[in-house]
Structures are given as C-alpha cells and as structure tokens.
Structure 1
Amino acid sequence: MTKFVRVEPISSARAQLSGTVARIGEQGLQAEPVVIGRRYKPEAVLISFELYEKLADLIDEIQLVPLIRERLADEKASPDLTLEEVAGSLGIDVVASQGCR
C-alpha cells in the first residue's frame, strides 16, 4: 500500500463506533475506510457494506480465473461432444424427452 494509513486505536474506534458506522452508512461507496489497530499496526478495516459487496464479487471473480483457465485448457484437449452424447452419458433419452412438452 503506497498511501499513508492513519491507524485508529481500538479504544478510540470503540468509543466512536456508533457514529463511525452511521457516517460510513450514509456516505456509502464514498466513505473513507477506517483502519483500526494496536500500536499503530493496522489490524482491521471498517468499510461500507456497498464496498464490501463489490470487493467480494471481485474476489470471487479473481478466484474463478484459474478454474476457468483450467477448464478452457481441458476443453481444447477434449473432443467436442454432441447433446445426444452428453445426455446419453447421463442416462437421458433426448428423443423421448422432446416429445414431453
């Protein structure tokens, strides 16, 4: 992290928690994160729930990238299957299923 971070002592953060949460809730994505820690060492961060949701979505996407790459590599190595072949491997009769509408 290249930006200077002001670490809020736990005792101070505890005393101001209600007001801090209200401010962050009102400001939403625009709210400045509050870094909390001991002896000037960052240990936790308070952020808006909106920002948390966006970050959680990004983390999920980042974690999926290796799996997607792996599956794409496997797809190139394996032959294309027809719908009938996939259905047959699952024990589904596609022709009979089409008549059940």
Structure 2
Amino acid sequence: MTKFVRVEPISSARAQLSETVARIGEQGVQAEPVVIGRRYKPEAVLISFELYEKLADLIDEIRLAPLIRERLAKAATDQDLSLEEVAESLGIDIEEPAPPASQERGSAA
C-alpha cells in the first residue's frame, strides 16, 4: 500500500476520542480509518466495528484457503468405495442373510 497516511498524534486522538468513535460508528464501513501514532509513526488504527468484522471474516477465509485447497485435492484423488469394500472394512459379511426379525426376538427371551 503506497497511499499517504496521515498519522494522528496520540495526544490529539485522546482529546477527540469520543467524537472520533461516534463519527466512525455513524459512518460504519464508509468511515475513513484513523491512524494513530507517535512521532508520525503509525502504531494503531481506529475503524468501525462493522468493518472490523468484515476484515476478520476475510482474514479467516485467507487463513483457511490452503487447508480447503489441500482437502479438495485429497478428495479428488480419493477412490469411491463399493458397498462390499465398506462392509469388509467393518467386518460385516453382506452375503450372509440376516435372521428374520421375529426369530431374533424369540432367541433373546
């Protein structure tokens, strides 16, 4: 970012804090960020909470993007399993017929 940034001195920002917060709150995401610092060095930024939430969501999406790409790539290489393969992995013999429901109840008694 090569944009010129006006740095508000801490003493000035402190004196106008209530007004600045009210203005930023009213203007929401349209409010110009207020850069605060010492000796013209930027150290903090005041932005609306609405803008903060939007930026936080974007940051989360950026952080999650590599994981999403990795999982999508893995899903593309995974094979689909047949019913037989799933049953075998669970130790179930799908060829063996299950006993009738009435017979199961009778043997439990």
Give the TM-score taking structure 2 as reference length. Answer: 0.72
Q: Which amino acid aligns with 1:37?
A: G
> Which of 1 and 2 has greater Rg?
2
Alpha carbons of structure 1 residues 39 and 81: separation in structure 2 relative to 1, 3 Å: farther
Post-superposition offset of 1:82: 6.7
Q: 1:72 aligns to what?
A: 72
- Give ranges in structure 1 of 5+ residues lacking alignment: 90-101
Q: 1:42 aligns to what?
A: 42
Deviating 4+ runs (over 6 angstroms): none
* Deviation sequence 1:15-74 (CA, Å, 0-9, x none): 110110000001111110000011111011000111111111111111110000111122
Equivalent positions of 1:1-101 (< 5 A) are 1-81=1-81, 85=86
Q: Which amino acid aligns with 2:47?
A: I
Aligned length: 87
Q: Which amino acid aligns with 1:79?
A: Q
Taking only the aligned residue pairs, the percentage that are identical comes to 84
Determine helix, strand or coil for the equivalent of 1:35.
Answer: strand
Determine helix, strand or coil for the equivalent of 1:45.
Answer: strand
Give the TM-score taking structure 1 as reference length. Answer: 0.77
